[in-house]
Amino acid sequence: MSDRKGIILAGGSGTRLYPITMGVSKQILPIYDKPMIYYPLSVLMLAGIREIAVITTPEDQAQFQRFMGDGNQWGLEFTWIEQPSPDGLAQAYLLAEEFLDGSPSLMVLGDNLFFGHGLPEILARADAKPEGGTVFGYRVADPERYGVVDFDEDGQVRAIVEKPDMPPSSFAVTGLYALDGTAPEKAARVTPSERNELEITALLEQYLAEDKLTVEVMGRGYAWLDTGTHESLLDAGNFVRTLQQRQGLQMGSPDEIAFNMGWISRADLEKRAKLFGKNDYGRYLLGLQ
């Protein structure tokens, strides 16, 4: 098990997805057959993380707790943290400072989906670094929409540029951040941007200035999907559906991962499967060996 603690940032108002998010948190919306938050949760579990803080808006927290509970059903321990207002991604480290208590962390954005056969291995490489930070770069067709990695001629990261008009590369920084225990104190030094937000890039620049930032590039064998628009939400659901129907394997199943990790027993798994007995997910869980 990793010594890192996990953070899922599931706050925000989801205004880009109005009207469907006017009555429900974006991260509770379905991605095909599971709530969106199951997918980032699964990433933390694949990294061997069992202590996880879930950051939500005050008004949405009860919705999440209703179907996620305390995490015990997956052998996890959840800490629930309120985000009073969405003031930027770096704010998560200030809100989670007491929870982290000096521990390194892996933070994943609640609307990001990751898939790839080698995912546990690249997460393990990031976890093996005792200090500094690791971000994950992914080649995209529209880098101007993201924080973009600027590489020097030796392939080392030189800068991370937020939503550049002229992107220095095609590699976007994904919503997955492995940072050491100094992240909260670095976040405290971040000042609000022109958008009046505590930008994650400003936090990462501090690691870069210390020569302690690594970019782990996700190659062709990986999929990274964010779900910030109606189109990308539908694309993500279709991706999961196609993958599961073609392979007969589940994506984003905390129940399967917990069982494979030995965090829950066969009896625990069967109890979970009975909850979903009327659908394919429940039948899939019952068939796990």
pLDDT band at 232 (very low <50, low <70, confident <90, very high): very high
DSSP 3-state assignment of 26?
A: helix
Mean pLDDT of the chain: 94
Query: For 185, phi and psi rounded to 5 degrees?
Result: -70, -30
Mean pLDDT along residues 238-266: 97
pLDDT in tens, 139-148: 999 999 888 9
Share of the chain above pLDDT 90, in %: 84
Please indicate whether residue 10 or residue 194 has the higher confidence score (pLDDT).
Answer: 10
Mean pLDDT along residues 177-205: 94
pLDDT over 80 (residue 171): yes
Residue 145's pLDDT is 87
Report the domain count for the chain. Answer: 1
Mean pLDDT along residues 195-206: 92
d(CA 157, CA 138) in angstroms, rounded, equals 14
d(CA 49, CA 51) in angstroms, rounded, equals 6
**Residue 171 token pair:** 């590699």
Q: Is residue 269 domain-resident?
A: no
Q: Is residue 158 domain-resident?
A: no
Q: Is residue 146 domain-resident?
A: no
Q: Cα angle at 225 between 222 and 227, to 5 degrees?
A: 170
Least confident of 63-67, 74-78, 92-96, 192-196: 192-196
Q: Is residue 39 domain-resident?
A: yes
Q: Residue 155: CB partners within 8 Å, gap ≥ 6?
A: none
Q: Is residue 152 domain-resident?
A: no
Q: Residue 15: CB partners within 8 Å, gap ≥ 6?
A: 21
Q: Residue 246: CB partners within 8 Å, gap ≥ 6?
A: none
Mean pLDDT along residues 268-284: 95
Mean pLDDT along residues 52-61: 96
Q: Is residue 109 domain-resident?
A: yes
Please indicate whether residue 93 or residue 153 has the higher confidence score (pLDDT).
Answer: 93
pLDDT band at 155 (very low <50, low <70, confident <90, very high): confident
Q: What is the CATH number of the domain that holds 120?
A: 3.90.550.10
- Helices 119-127, 38-46: axis angle to 10 degrees equals 60
Q: Is residue 96 domain-resident?
A: yes
pLDDT band at 195 (very low <50, low <70, confident <90, very high): confident
Least confident of 5-14, 31-40, 106-115: 5-14
Tell me the range of 2-11, 36-45, 80-89 where mean pLDDT is highest. Answer: 36-45
d(CA 267, CA 263) in angstroms, rounded, equals 12
pLDDT over 70 (residue 269): yes
Residue 1's pLDDT is 61
pLDDT in tens, 100-125: 999 999 999 999 999 998 999 999 99
Question: 């200030």: which residue's tokens?
Answer: 94
Q: Is residue 155 domain-resident?
A: no
pLDDT over 80 (residue 154): no
pLDDT in tens, 246-257: 999 999 999 999
Residue 107 belongs to domain spanning: 5-136+170-252
